[in-house]
Amino acid sequence: MAQTDKDIVLISQDSAFSERIGALVRRQPGFALQECNATLSTMNGKAVELAKTSELIIFQASTNTASDIEALKGIAKSGSAARILAISDSTVPFGLAHSLLQVGATEVVPDTVADAELSRIVNRLSMPRRLTLTTPDLREGQVIAVSKARGGIGATTLAVNLADHLVGHKKRFGKSETRKVVLVDLDLQFGAIAGFLDLPPNDALYKLAKDRIDPDSVFLEQAIVKTASGLAVIAAPDGFMPLNALQPDQIRALIYRLQQSYDFVIVDLPHAMVDWLTPVLEAASTVLIVSGTSVPFVQQTRRLIDFFKDQNPSLNIEVVVGQEKKPLLKSRRHAEAAKALESEFRHWLPPDAKSAEEAMDRGLPLSQTASGSALNKEIAQISARLLSAVASNRDPKNLKAERRER
């Protein structure tokens, strides 16, 4: 088989180890495995070559960690896109494991990790680096979650219109630039996205929970409906559904599958805390919390930030003020709120009930009903910022500093 067919490379001289990890990888659909009976360092230049054509390299960290470190440096220098999973003997000291991370290993796990957990790690690390995208700079699908400090503040309005802007718009003449975007209504009990976009409610998520199945391609086909502009939507069910009916693993698999096919996965979160929020937050790069500037809002936002950070410390969390115009001068209240949140209010969605409601009534995004409104323009700006962060492959957090410099 040609080298380019190999998605995952497994490097180990220990047959029991190779058998265990090999079996585990083979159970995952869609991956080709190449096994190498060697250590990372004895592979010499071959490891570098394989790293250029693979999604993931798994190697058994040897007791001679120094030679692994040298080999990893060589791979890092080659600029390959492969992720590297080191599986170490549990006797390998923490300091040495840390050195592997410093020189380019994506993750280091002890071989005592249970098979199910290891499968999850392999699955996550082997997501294709580059999807077939219309924008060549984009990498695997970005998950953006939208949360709210209280109901009715405008979170769904933001999620729907952000998704619409991220899709982009087809130009009549010239080159169109559109992206593949899916909007998922995980506000399972009070989901309103179907109404916002004049789509029928969909009981696919209810069936997923009831039948305890994995969201495979058949499920996605039944669950996804497209709007005229090309936005894919998974609407919430119509009837009542207990929030905890869905299992975290089902949501993890759903988000993962969507990331494989879409450039952006926008998730409208419920107000309640449920255990399946964890896989959403683990996969997310950004969470937008729609909030207000008054004390109870700020307190609730602080709680949400702490919870989200706890789930995923590298998450980019941005606070969006809903239904309030950006003040020309920052008041004392705003300064105190920013201090309590340890972050500035990033965006301000101006109050505009007329535009918001007209769009809802017509079942269309703001771009089609009130394109010139300040509300639509602000959401377009959030979209543009997220796009530029992804296109330049930078953490959206860093754009703040760049913006200030300009």
Ligand X SMILES: Nc1ncnc2c1ncn2[C@@H]1O[C@H](COP(=O)(O)OP(=O)(O)OP(=O)(O)O)[C@@H](O)[C@H]1O
The binding site for ligand X (CB under 6 A) comprises 148, 151-157, 187, 190, 192, 323, 349, 351-353, 356-357, 360, 375
- Taking the complex as a whole, how short is the minimal distance between the CB of residue 268 and Mg ion, in angstroms? 6
Q: Taking CB under 5 A as the rule, does residue 156 contact Mg ion?
A: yes
Helix pair angle (396-405, 374-391), 10° resolution: 110
- Taking the complex as a whole, how short is the minimal distance between the CB of residue 143 and ligand X, in angstroms? 18
- Taking the complex as a whole, how short is the minimal distance between the CB of residue 190 and ligand X, in angstroms? 6
Restricted to residues 222-261, the positions that interact with Mg ion (CB under 5 A) are none
Residue 118: which of Mg ion, ligand X, none does it interact with, CB under 5 to 8 A by kind? Answer: none
- Taking the complex as a whole, how short is the minimal distance between the CB of residue 192 and Mg ion, in angstroms? 5
- Taking the complex as a whole, how short is the minimal distance between the CB of residue 355 and ligand X, in angstroms? 8
| Cβ distance to Mg ion smaller for residue 85 or 155 | 155
39, 58 contact by CB (below 8 A): no
Using the contact rule CB under 5 A, the part of the chain among 156-164, 250-258, 278-286, 290-298 near Mg ion is 156-164
- Taking the complex as a whole, how short is the minimal distance between the CB of residue 267 and Mg ion, in angstroms? 12
State the Cα–Cα distance between residues 192 and 235, nearest whole angstrom.
8
Backbone angle region of 46, left / alpha / beta, with phi > 0 → left and psi within -120 to 50 → alpha:
alpha
Residue 142: which of Mg ion, ligand X, none does it interact with, CB under 5 to 8 A by kind? Answer: none
Residue 353: which of ligand X, Mg ion, none does it interact with, CB under 5 to 8 A by kind? Answer: ligand X
Residue 352: which of ligand X, Mg ion, none does it interact with, CB under 5 to 8 A by kind? Answer: ligand X
State the Cα–Cα distance between residues 348 and 353, nearest whole angstrom.
15
- x/- site string to Mg ion, residues 49 to 68, per CB under 5 A? --------------------
**Nearest residue to ligand X, by Cβ distance, number only:** 151
- Taking the complex as a whole, how short is the minimal distance between the CB of residue 205 and Mg ion, in angstroms? 15
Contacts within 8 Å (CB) and 24+ apart, 165-168: 165/367, 165/379, 165/380, 165/382, 165/383, 165/384, 166/263, 166/264, 166/266, 166/383, 166/386, 166/387, 167/229, 167/230, 167/231
State the Cα–Cα distance between residues 10 and 22, nearest whole angstrom.
7
| Cβ distance to ligand X smaller for residue 80 or 157 | 157
* Cα 302–chain centre separation: 22
**Nearest residue to Mg ion, by Cβ distance, number only:** 156
| Cβ distance to ligand X smaller for residue 248 or 351 | 351
| Cβ distance to Mg ion smaller for residue 56 or 160 | 160
| Cβ distance to ligand X smaller for residue 7 or 352 | 352
- Taking the complex as a whole, how short is the minimal distance between the CB of residue 114 and ligand X, in angstroms? 38
Residue 151: which of Mg ion, ligand X, none does it interact with, CB under 5 to 8 A by kind? Answer: ligand X
Q: Give strand pairing partners of 35.
A: 10
Residue 351: which of ligand X, Mg ion, none does it interact with, CB under 5 to 8 A by kind? Answer: ligand X
| Cβ distance to ligand X smaller for residue 85 or 153 | 153
How does 392-402 read in b/e, with b if 16+ C-beta sit within 10 Å?
eeeebeebbee
| Cβ distance to ligand X smaller for residue 125 or 184 | 184
Using the contact rule CB under 5 A, the part of the chain among 65-73, 114-122, 147-155, 310-318 near Mg ion is 147-155
- Taking the complex as a whole, how short is the minimal distance between the CB of residue 182 and ligand X, in angstroms? 18
Signed CA dihedral, 94, 99, 102, 108: sign only: negative
> Which residues 6+ apart lie within 8 Å of 368 measured at CB?
229, 359, 362
| Cβ distance to Mg ion smaller for residue 21 or 155 | 155
253, 202 contact by CB (below 8 A): no
| Cβ distance to ligand X smaller for residue 154 or 396 | 154
> Which residues 6+ apart lie within 8 Å of 8 measured at CB?
25, 31, 32, 33, 34, 54, 55, 56, 57, 58, 122, 126
Binding residues for Mg ion (CB under 5 A): 155-156
